[in-house]
Structure formats: C-alpha cells, structure tokens
Structure 1
C-alpha cells in the first residue's frame, strides 16, 4: 500500500497547518478506491459527528465518492439526537454493516486501539484524524493527522475544507460550529488559536435557530432522575467530588453530570461513573489545565479497562461488568481506591454533597 503519513507530534502542534498539497494528495489517494466508511467513536458526541460529516463532504465534493458514517453504542444525549435530526445527518450503527464491503476505513475523533470505538481490532484502517493523544504507532496507516493541542477534531476538518476551497453550507457550518462550541465549552476549555479562528468564521454562517433548538432540546423524565441520583450519591474528598449514577439509560449522562458537578464551589476534580449495557462508563473533569486527566484515568483503570483524554477532561470504560449491585459496588471500591492512590489521598469516607 502507498504510504503518506502526516503524524503531528506534540512539539509541532503550536502552529501546525497541513499543507494544501498534502491534503490534495490524500484526496487523490482516495479517488476511485471503492466504498468508504467513516467511523465515529462509540456514543458519538458533536465533535465526532461533525468531523465525520465534514470528511464525507470533502470526499464527495473532491472525488464524487460518497461515504457511510457509522458509530457504535447509542446517540443518547438529547442535544446530540437533536443535532442529528435537525441537521439531517445520516449515521448507521456499525453492527449493521458488512465491513468487508468497504475498501477504505477512516476514523475521526478516535483511533485504532483507543477502546472507545466498535471497529474490530483486526480491521485495517487507512485514515485517522483526531485530537486525542496517540495510543500506538501508526506505521501501517496511510494518513494520520493527530493534533493533541487542538480542542476539537472538527477544527482539523474545517481547515481541510478551507485548504481545498470547498464551500461550507449552512448545515455543515452549524454542525462544525456546534462541535467546537461544545467540545471547548465556548472556547473556555482546552482551545487553540485554530479552534478560535474556526469558531469565529463559522458562527456568521451557522443557523442560529437550529443552534438554539440543539442546545435546548426537550428531555425525558429520567434525565432529571439522573441529576437527583448524582447529587444524592456525590461525596466530597477535599477538592475532589465522586459520584455514581449506577444503571443509566444514556451513557452520555456521566460526562454531562461531571461537567455539572464541577461547578460546586471548592471542587477542582470530579470523577463520575455509571453502568450502561454491561459497561461501566467513567468520566473525569478538572478546572486545572495541567491536571493531565487522560493519563490519570489510564492509571486508574490500567489492566481492567481503557481510557483517554486531555488535561482537563477524560473518559473511560470497563467492559463486561455485571448489572447486580454487588458487582458494581465492588468495581466502584476498586476504582476509588486506585484514584486515591494516584492522588495520594487517604481512603476516608468523604462528606455527602447534600
């Protein structure tokens, strides 16, 4: 197979711009190769969805080839479902696809071996575009663009579109803008100059009414029940807050509640968990830019699960966890014990939030 890897090291990230000719060469490599699949991470968030949509648009405009967008898990959060609905984004569960029919496999906002996607480990991958730290060497992958200091994968795809002078319609602009907005918390968390430039350029051509409707979707009653459970179960250990949602109907709730509870006065770290369909979903948040939560969470679940993230945000999963209360509480004790060890905290009971 032809090789052309555009791997970006952390030291090179400050002012990185993929050369127009490199992106053009990547597009030419794709031309005429057959069916293309673009894989999002499991339970995809706006950044993963928007990056996939943008890559599909780029390929379609430049080569005439369409691509299938796929994901594992569920699209659970109400905002994400509303985004897919209002922007008319077509996504297919990966379990419904015959992967052997695809000549090219692309991954956006995730990577082979990351543990947060449903692509089989033995499946050959040809393109990886992501803003999370690399999980392994990518010598066997044709195109790799990993920019750790970018706040959103959508920003990388925005730059691709610009470099190839591909017009961005209102729906695509709205998708990309919302991705950057949500991923960086309105440029308040882990953003780069490139994210800010994309954010400001996309805002004027986005649909404000659709954005409002995405941000303020109707939510089911169990959404409020999850808030009640999180608040009731939260325990405070100095600057750290820990909560367990137990069984949840939507895996995105863990990250959403972690963001919400980080607002508690005096709290600098939040560690949350919840059980969904056989998997313990984990999320960490911090107000400290140098918290290195991706590395922290990897240490916490080393040997029993997978995790990744950045300085202030991280997520992970422990698979094949039984639903019964004893199994979940046993795992909770293990995880909290490991967390205390990483942070050099004494294993005390902690204070209830309310």
Structure 2
C-alpha cells in the first residue's frame, strides 16, 4: 500500500470529496469509449463507495461498444450496470465523474464544454483536467483501479466478492499479471485482492469463448505483418470491434525478439491504432502521440498506448495512405526505416 503519509493524504482527499458529493444531487460516472476492465472495475468501486458512505446511487455511462470477449464476460458475470452515453442527459446530474480517461483525450465521447467535477486516472495529466474541482491523476500507477481500491481501504468500505474480482482482474489484465507498468501499490492490491475473488467467475472472465471474427482477425494480422529488426507493424484492415486492434498488439508482442508493435485497423470511419512495447527506455504514449501529430489523437504510458485517426468516407487508397504514414513515422521514430523487412507469411 501507499506510505502512511500518502494514506493520510488519500483519506483527506476522499473525506473532502465525499463531504462535497453528499450535498449534491444525482451522480454520473463517464468512462472511456469501448470500456476495458480498468475503467469498468474503477466505476464499480466508485459507485460502491458512494453507496456505502453516502447512500447515493450512481449511473455508469459509456459510448462505443464492448467487443472484446473478456470484457463482455466481465460486464455480464459481474452484473455491471451500464447505460449508453447517447441516451444520458448529463444536464440532469449535479456530479459528473470521469474514470480512467480525462476531458479532451479523444478516447471518450463526452460532449465538448461539459462540466466535469471529478477526474481519477493513471494517464498523463491533461491541461483541461486542471480546471476540474476534484483531480487525482497518478501517472506512476499502472492501473486506475488501484487508486479506487485505496479509496475503499482508507474509508473502511468492505469489498465484496464481485467487486474484488473486478478490481483484481483489472490489475491482472492491465499489467499482464504485474509484468508491465506497475508500482508497489498495484502489486500489493493484486496480492490482497486475490484471496477475495470468486475463482469460478475469474476463470469465466479470463478464458471466454472467442467469436468467429476474432480468428478472422488473427489470420489477417498474421498475413499482413511486417518485421523490421525488433519492430513489428501489422495492418488489420476492417475490424468487427475496436478492441481487436489492441488485442492483436498484445498477441503479436509475444513473438520472439520483438520489442515494439504497432497495429492498425479500421472501424467505421476511424483508424484505431495500438502500440505495445517491452522496452523500458521508451514511452509508448509519447511515441504514439508523435505518430498521430496533426492527424489524430492518442494517449498512453510506458509500455502501452492507443490512438485514433478519423478518415472521412475512407476509400481503400485513403486507408493505405494513412497506414503508410503511420508506418513511416513509426519506423523513423525507432530508427528502423532502413532495416530489411521480413514477413510472417510469405
């Protein structure tokens, strides 16, 4: 856990936050588009905190879709109540919270100009976030869920089996079993939560059946992968759901000798981009932000990053042009542009 001084600071922050929220009306939590385990578990935890300490219910809302099988299984098995942002009138809520995302990051569909009161995240602090009333952004943490776990601990809020399973799985999946971007609080939360989890639910979430589209995308990824030394680029074409792009990046990083992976896939009019790394001397978020400069938005941290480039009414030529631009910038950034190319499938 955090140090005694840090715990006192967390206790003071959460005491003040709860006192402020107590005097307000309805609460809404906005998570990023196509939510992943970290934002889902974090939303569950903050909702639980408000129920237990204030007896106030909270609406959890998101845009996009949940496509990845593990994330679908998590939402279903843990019975996480989710409401589409498109049918949510944010003006009805007196407290607006954002978890695992921030205003203006490009990975959420919060309407521009919407008042945001609470931001809790582990990604780099954005300038727009500084205007919010309650901000807890810890870039040194690997998982937002760990921050919410600490809230529950300092406020002496009991953690039930389903919430423990959600928080544990968020840390497990986001850090790949503590293998990337973790600190001591993440590791301690992981080990303390595991005994509280429902192992049957955890197995159902971790090992779900995969849809047909998953294997189609795996085949396409293997057929359209180029390797430049220890750098890999894969062009996925059209994907059935956005999370497949990140899933393929995780999958391809497992190839021996590969240190950096860039995957690109089209979903509707957006090119979804994911980057994965096992290098500690480079920040994947910084690299991807350089790649999309002038054409899109991106975010991330040490070993993982994601971004999006909108291509209005894309033709195959438009998509190929953007793929080429991203590839050229990626290879140039890593000094791999002059290396010979290899392919997984000839």
Scaled to the shorter chain, the TM-score interval is over 0.9
Equivalents in 2 of 1:222, 1:160: separation in Å?
39
| Alignment TM-score, normalising by the size of structure 1 | 0.93
- The aligned residue for residue 244 of structure 1 is 235
The match for 1:31 is: 22
From 192, 205, 209, the counterpart of 1:201: 192
How far apart, CA to CA, are the structure 2 residues paired with 1:34 and 1:163? Answer: 24
Deviates most, 132-141 or 312-321:
132-141
1:237–1:350 contact (8 Å) kept in structure 2: yes
Q: Which residue of 1 aligns with 2:78?
A: 87
Give the distance between the partners of 1:349 and 1:243, measured in 2 at CA.
16
The residue correspondences of 1:101-116 to structure 2 (distance < 5 A) are 101-116=92-107
Match of 1:227 among 218, 226, 249: 218
C-alpha contact (below 8 Å) 1:190/1:289 kept by paired residues: no
How far apart are 1:323 and its partner, in Å? 4.0
Is the 1:278–1:321 Cα contact (8 Å) retained in structure 2?
Answer: yes
1:214 aligns with 2:182: no
1:268-298 superposed Cα distances (whole Å, 9 cap, x missing partner): 1100010112111000011112221100000
CA distance in 2, matches of 1:45, 1:259: 14
Q: Check the 8 A contact 1:322/1:328 in 2, yes or no.
A: no
- Tell me by how many angstroms 1:62 deviates: 0.9
Counterpart CA distance in 1 for 2:271 and 2:339 is 23
**1:164 Cα offset (Å):** 0.4
After TM superposition, the structure 1 = structure 2 runs for residues 2-151 of structure 1, keeping only pairs within 5 Å, are 16-17=6-7, 18-136=9-127, 138-151=129-142
Q: CA deviation at 1:125?
A: 0.4
Q: Does 1:168 align with 2:176?
A: no
**Separation in structure 2 between the aligned mates of residue 320 and residue 102 of structure 1, nearest angstrom:** 34
CA distance in 1, matches of 2:92, 2:316: 42
Residue 316 (structure 1) aligned with residue 278 (structure 2): no
TM-aligned CA deviation for residue 19 of structure 1: 3.0
Describe the shift of the 1:129–1:218 C-alpha distance in structure 2 as closer, same or farther (beyond 3 A).
same
CA contact (8 A) 2:328 2:337 kept: no
- The equivalent of 2:147 in structure 1 is 156
**Post-superposition offset of 1:346:** 2.5
Q: Does 1:261 align with 2:252?
A: yes
**What count of residue pairs does the alignment treat as equivalent?**
342
Unaligned 5+ segments in structure 2 are none
Q: Residue 104 of structure 2 contacts residue 128 of structure 2 at CA under 8 Å; is this kept in 1? A: no
Aligned-partner SS, 2:129:
coil
Which range moved further: 157-166 or 217-226? 217-226
**CA deviation map 1:46-89 (0-9, x unaligned):** 00100011001101111111110011111110100010001000
Counterpart CA distance in 2 for 1:22 and 1:103 is 19
RMSD: 1.6
Q: Secondary structure at the match of 1:128?
A: strand
Say if 2:262 is the partner of 1:271: yes
Offset at residue 16 of structure 1 (A): 4.3
Specify every segment of 5 or more residues in structure 1 that has no aligned partner in the other structure, as ranges: 1-11
Measure the CA separation in 2 of the matches of 1:284 and 1:71. Answer: 23
Structure 1 SS opposite 2:127: coil
Query: In structure 1, what is the Cα distance between the partners aligned to 2:187 and 2:333?
Result: 34
- SS in structure 2 opposite 1:34? coil
